[in-house]
Structure 1
Amino acid sequence: MVTDAVRELVFVPGDGDRLAGYTPGAHVKLQLPVGERSYSLIDFEPVSENAGIGRYRFAVQLEAQSAGGSRFMHELASGDEVAVSPPGNDFPLQLNKPALLIAGGIGINPLISMATALKHEGTPFRFHYAGRTRAKMAYRDELEQAFGGELTLHFDDQPETALNIAGLAASVDADEHVYVCGPKGMIEAVKSAMGAAGIAADHIHFELFTSAAEESGDRSFEVEVHATGEVFTVPPGKTIIDVLEAGGVDLIHDCLRGDCGICRTDVIEGVPDHRDVVLSDSEKAEGKVMQICVSRAKSARLVLDL
């Protein structure tokens, strides 16, 4: 346990072989009894994409509203086996560009690997990490030791240390890239502040660390697959992807959190209830596209271009 709610796990290959390398910001998908779950890889030493490595390291926060994934990971014991997919990366780092890294809570995980790579390459970076209290911040001591002057900590219970997102946005240089990982509210605030400061959209990178939570008042709605005319009912607690895949519809997706954009789908009829962090405000207002991994419907039925 690295905090009272965050557990570190280290996995090694069961067959004694080497594990696939990866780039900073990468994740792997674990096949758990409750379904597939993605976890970002952590490294305080540089890792090569082209060289096999001996272990994968994660930090998993136990979520009170967990569907079972974080609880399963917290209950694993030494010697237990889990199937894993090769690493993927929806949150890649531009290694040759100066960076502003902003982490909230357990969103620190992928940014550790980014900071490690940037420091190793000698690329300038600034690293801001916000948490509720000092005691709840995973790897705080290790981060201070590894990154020293590049790291600034922010604690919600100490107002004088508060994260000044507008101030950070005003300080971003033209060639600097911004990377943010954490709660949806933080990501939206950073995107808004950076946009207001005139930062180019392609210089703002983000990853939502948890899936969109079920909201009170969620109700069932229908989804019609335009190509076949099939109609599916999506109940509260299930996503469009959950229901359509269970019904045999072949879909392309990855993150299942609403931040990678891969499952973007055209809306032919109906009104989406957008819950992603990918689409712009104008795209959400227009309602012609949606991210079907997390978003729902305000209308009784959606007709999707699938």
Structure 2
Amino acid sequence: MSVLDLVVTRAEPAGDMIRLVELARPDGGTLPAFEAGAHVEIHLPDGDTRPYSLIDLGGEAAAPALYRFGVRLEAPGRGGSAYMHGLSAGDPVRVDAPKNDFPLDAGDAPAVLVAGGIGVTPIVSMAAALKAAGRSYVLHYAARSRAAAALADHLAEAHGDALSLHLDDTAGGPLDLAAVMAAADPASHVYICGPKPMIEAARRAAEAAGIPSARIHVELFESAAAPAAGDAPFEVELASSGKVYTIPPGRSIIEVLEEAGEDLIYDCQRGDCGICQTDVLEGEPDHRDVVLSEDERASGKVMQICVSRAKSARLKLDL
């Protein structure tokens, strides 16, 4: 994958603990195109990378002069948001070329867009693309307060009655996701981006409203799943070789297997893209993704090995 050496052209507040950052080529040239839902990996000073969704306000994605991001400052953790919030105009930044694990469907079905907090960033691009294509869509944007609702003014101006802005502090509580899904056209595709609890609630509401799981698309706007209280070591047996690996608390199946030289296919490592999905031949997985439907979780036959763990002492996986 190609790496782009860019510079910061804009870095300024865009809401409560939210910063808008724009990057461009030093020579002002056109950047690689992207589609709604795409992201780039930002290279951090420590050599790691973090994904950030690209924001297309309307008509910019085909030949972008800049890449735009909205970044919320998170509690100390993996360091990506602190790095992005520390950038100033003129700073150099390295990014990978855009990729898309959260695309719009190619048909003309109606779309229900649901964004929570800073999870609005890919949804902004989706709304712009749907409007440009003349497709039917509604956008539900939930935030704690007006100050936390980044780009709300732009969305209101660009999308008018298609936007429903929900503010927890004035509404007296969270967005009624059951009502949102019950009001949706049953033929809709649903796109959800935000924190994990909201995604899980929205998925359950969509399934309860009769929307098939294949039409429910999600992106988790958080870093990899944090260790949970009570996490214990468990073993993973590979069906192809019989090799057994111990997965300690605080480490993922992917991390341990890849360190041991196993060849794996994966991408997001957040539990939302589905690329690392693996068949479970024996044992009981502890699902921590936002990809699987309730029926798939209950079956125990597949899991996302980037974030999920085990309830049993050992898992035998089709690897």
**Residue type matched to 1:236 in 2?**
P
How much identity, in percent, do the aligned residues show?
A: 54
Q: Which residue of 2 aligns with 1:75?
A: 86
Q: Which residue of 2 aligns with 1:196?
A: 208
- Taking only aligned residues, the RMSD between alpha carbons, in angstroms, comes to 2.1
Q: Which residue of 1 aligns with 2:139?
A: 127
Q: Which whole-Å CA distance do the structure 2 matches of 1:78 and 1:224 have between them?
A: 50
Q: Which residue of 2 aligns with 1:146?
A: 158
How far has the Cα of 1:65 moved from its partner?
Answer: 4.8
Stretch of structure 1 that moved more, 61-70 or 37-46: 61-70
Q: 1:253 aligns with which of 257, 262, 266?
A: 266
Q: Which residue of 1 aligns with 2:121?
A: 109
SS in 2 for 1:205: strand
Instruction: Tell me: CA distance 1:232–1:81, structure 2 relative to 1, closer, same or farther (3 Å).
Output: farther
Q: Does the Cα contact within 8 Å between 2:187 and 2:211 map onto a contact in 1? A: no
| Structure 2 segments unaligned to the other structure (5+ residues) | 1-12
Deviations 1:16-62 (A, max 9, x none): 543211111111122322623211110112245xx442211111111
Instruction: Tell me: CA distance 1:289–1:201, structure 2 relative to 1, closer, same or farther (3 Å).
Output: closer
1:150-189 → structure 2 map (5 Å cutoff): 150-159=162-171, 162-189=174-201
| Structure 1 segments unaligned to the other structure (5+ residues) | none
Instruction: Tell me: CA distance 1:83–1:155, structure 2 relative to 1, closer, same or farther (3 Å).
Output: same
Q: 2:308 aligns with which of 292, 295, 302?
A: 295
**Residue type matched to 1:174 in 2?**
P
Q: Which residue of 2 aligns with 1:276?
A: 289
**Residue type matched to 2:216 in 1?**
I
1:93 equivalent to 2:91? Answer: no
**Residue type matched to 1:155 in 2?**
L
Stretch of structure 1 that moved more, 142-151 or 122-131: 142-151
Q: 1:41 aligns with which of 51, 54, 66?
A: 54
Q: Which residue of 2 aligns with 1:58?
A: 69
Q: Which whole-Å CA distance do the structure 1 matches of 2:293 and 2:213 have between them?
A: 10
TM-score after normalising by structure 2: 0.87
1:13 equivalent to 2:29? Answer: no
Q: Does the Cα contact within 8 Å between 1:130 and 1:155 map onto a contact in 2? A: yes
**Residue type matched to 2:263 in 1?**
D
Q: Which whole-Å CA distance do the structure 2 matches of 1:222 and 1:63 have between them?
A: 33
Instruction: Tell me: CA distance 1:301–1:100, structure 2 relative to 1, closer, same or farther (3 Å).
Output: same
TM-score after normalising by structure 1: 0.91
Deviations 1:67-112 (A, max 9, x none): 2222222223333333322211121113633221110111101000
Q: Which whole-Å CA distance do the structure 2 matches of 1:145 and 1:247 have between them?
A: 52
Q: Which whole-Å CA distance do the structure 1 matches of 2:67 and 2:139 have between them?
A: 23
Instruction: Tell me: CA distance 1:115–1:272, structure 2 relative to 1, closer, same or farther (3 Å).
Output: same
Deviations 1:84-142 (A, max 9, x none): 22211121113633221110111101000011112222222211110111211111222
Q: 2:149 aligns with which of 137, 148, 151?
A: 137
SS in 1 for 2:14: coil
Report the count of equivalent residues.
304
Instruction: Tell me: CA distance 1:133–1:260, structure 2 relative to 1, closer, same or farther (3 Å).
Output: same
SS in 2 for 1:278: coil
Deviations 1:149-178 (A, max 9, x none): 211111112235752212222211133222
Stretch of structure 1 that moved more, 130-139 or 265-274: 265-274
Q: Which whole-Å CA distance do the structure 1 matches of 2:309 and 2:147 have between them?
A: 36
